[in-house]
Amino acid sequence: MNFHSIACATFAFALLSAYPSHAAHAQAAAETAGATSVAGSAAASAKSPAIPAMPSASNPSKSQHLTITAGPPPEVINRQNLEKHAGTDAAKLLVRSTPSGSHVWIDGAFVGNTPMLLIVAPGKYHVDLRGPRQETGSRIVDLLPRETREIASTLTAHYPTRVVIR
């Protein structure tokens, strides 16, 4: 065995000790260099890495990953929170837009799509509308106790939808 074969076998043994998952590559490199006994004994002593078990359906809290939880979507939760804090003097806000089906945001929280009726506490609200093609609209609405108000917005595009070249 020459110096190169001994160095290669030593490297293979160190690699097998540090990274058991690379055992096959290290053993092949050592055998190519002519060191069969060092690589063979190191490969035999190498253990495969432990693989964590999947969480069971009965106990999903043991998972280290994000999981999908059952329940209402965020917009429903946001709408329910508005209604829960409305109180006995609740106001009603009917939101419509052109185009219909635009996203409605009340004070920065997504609450659904137009047209929609919201039951909210009296007060001042910042209503943002966002259309399907990047159209936007914004209003500040001040509602009195037991007031019913309808807001209808025609959304405007930030970018041109059509270009004419002459």
For the chain (length 166 residues), average pLDDT per consecutive 10?
54 52 54 52 55 56 62 90 92 93 94 95 95 90 95 84 79
| 3-class state of residue 19 by DSSP | coil
**Predicted local confidence at residue 164, as pLDDT:** 84
**Predicted local confidence at residue 39, as pLDDT:** 44
| 3-class state of residue 111 by DSSP | strand
pTM for the complete prediction? 0.54
**Which of 18, 20, 40, 19 shows the shortest CA–CA distance to 30?**
40
C-alpha distances in Å from residue 60, one per residue of 51, 54, 74, 146: 18, 9, 22, 45
Q: Which domains does the chain have, with CATH numbers?
A: 3-45 (no CATH), 74-157 (2.60.40)
Planar angle of CA 24, 38, 14, nearest 5 degrees: 65
